[in-house]
Amino acid sequence: MKWKQLILPRHLYRTYKLGRLWKNQAKLPWLTMLLRFGRPLPLVRQLGSDRPQARVILHKQGIWSIVAGARFIRYTTKPKSVAKLQKEHVMWRLLREHGLADMVQPSIRLSACGQGVALETGLLRQIGMDDQVEMTVPIMRAFMAAAKLAVPDALPPTVEAGIKLGRQACGGELPASFALESAIRDCFARQVRIGVSHQDLHVYNIMQDAGGKPILIDLKSCDVDRIVSIDILMFAGKYIQARMFDNLLECVFSAQQLGWCVAELEPALALIDLPRTYWSHILILHLMGAGSADTQGSEQEISPISRQLYQRMLSRDWSAGCPERDAET
Ligand SMILES: Nc1ncnc2c1ncn2[C@@H]1O[C@H](COP(=O)(O)OP(=O)(O)OP(=O)(O)O)[C@@H](O)[C@H]1O
Ligand SMILES: [Mg+2]
């Protein structure tokens, strides 16, 4: 989780993202023209007779994304980005091996391309914002069905890291106004679905094929032995954020106040096998933990800004909106 997305109000974050998008878009016609002039040569060779119709649609982190007829090709020579494309391919194979072939592209081809690699798939279409729940729920169901039901050995590492950060920020333990640490741990001391998780499930990572079937993309962060519900919670958090002009932490707090009553999200929320009373707590800790790659192990000092942010967030009255909480603890 990027800190900017966590703490910036949504309209500021959107402006920042739009600025970057505009900067990116401005160079695309030039890169397309470069292709027409036969550069970069390995990519031109990869495109073959499709080159005249090829269009660069994205250029990010040294990765060229090109649409050529029904082909979608990504090419890079940058070592970090080569690793990203290789990971995408490895995860695509892994998802297929875990019975999720129907949720991903039928084929992805990874090939050496000059000094770099090319990753080629079929062209997909964006899904409508209003269709995102309907298009994503079948994918969530498939992930749930492919997972096994078991009591986890430990808390999700992100939640564990979030608890440590929370303790550090709030003088040794989580504030009572937030939740007892034992109550959070109890949420995971029961059978839940454990299996493959996408780890970045949101509307822009779901596309559709020519027949309108939802297809999951951006597979590089997938992992095994994860609690699948965390993906659904993240999806729900981002969905709510897209409708509120606020930062993600604030949106998760508001969701708690509403008891997570968001009618259009209910088909997705109904799949979550963690106690509803603690969804926001789990999500906040997960977000804190996921955003703390630099403080993992958390023996390191957290920055004063993060400390203040976490302290303010966790010290609010989290019991409002959870009438059953006392009964559950
Ligand atoms: N098969 C495809 N057909 C058409 N467009 C695609 C296809 N795959 C990806 N795209 C487009 O490229 C965009 C970026 O792809 P992807 O989500 O894999 O990477 P990313 O989100 O940029 O990666 P990162 O997480 O590193 O930011 C998608 O949002 C989509 O617009
Ligand atoms: Mg993506």
List, for residues 24-37, the tens digit of each pLDDT value. 889 999 999 999 99
Using the atom order of ligand 1, give the atom closest to the CA of residue 88: 18
**Higher-pLDDT residue of 314, 326:** 314
20: Cα separation from own chain's centroid: 19
Q: Are residues 85 and 104 in the same domain?
A: yes
Residues flanking ligand 1, CB < 6 Å: 58, 60, 65, 72, 121, 123-124, 204-205, 217-218
Q: Are residues 146 and 117 in the same domain?
A: no
Q: For the chain, what percent of residues have pLDDT higher than 90? A: 77
Q: How many residues does the chain have?
A: 329
Mean pLDDT of 259-276: 96
Mean pLDDT of 262-285: 96
In a domain, 8, yes or no: no
| 307: containing domain | 129-319
- Rounded to 5 degrees, what angle do the CA atoms 3, 187, 242 make? 35
d(CA 308, CA 170): 9
Q: Which single residue is written with the structure tokens 């090419």?
A: 75
What's the number of domains the chain is made of?
A: 2
d(CA 256, CA 178): 11
Using the atom order of ligand 1, give the atom closest to the CA of residue 205: 17
The CATH number for 223's domain is 3.90.1200
Phi/psi at 173 (5° precision)? -145, 165
Confidence (pLDDT) at 321 = 61
C-alpha distances (whole Å) from 95 to each of 98, 101, 152, 217, 307 are 5, 6, 21, 11, 38
Confidence (pLDDT) at 294 = 45
User: pLDDT grade, residue 178 (50/70/90)?
Assistant: very high
Distance 134 CA to ligand 1 centre (A): 20
Using the atom order of ligand 1, give the atom closest to the CA of residue 218: 18
Ligand 1, atom 29, lies closest to the CA of: 204
Q: Are residues 88 and 137 in the same domain?
A: no
Domain boundary among 90, 123, 156: 123
Q: Contact at 8 Å (CB) between 161 and 294?
A: no
Candidate from 123, 218, 221 with most ligand 1 atoms within 8 A of CB, to mutate: 218
| Average pLDDT value for the chain | 91
Q: Contact at 8 Å (CB) between 183 and 328?
A: yes
Distance 206 CA to ligand 1 centre (A): 9
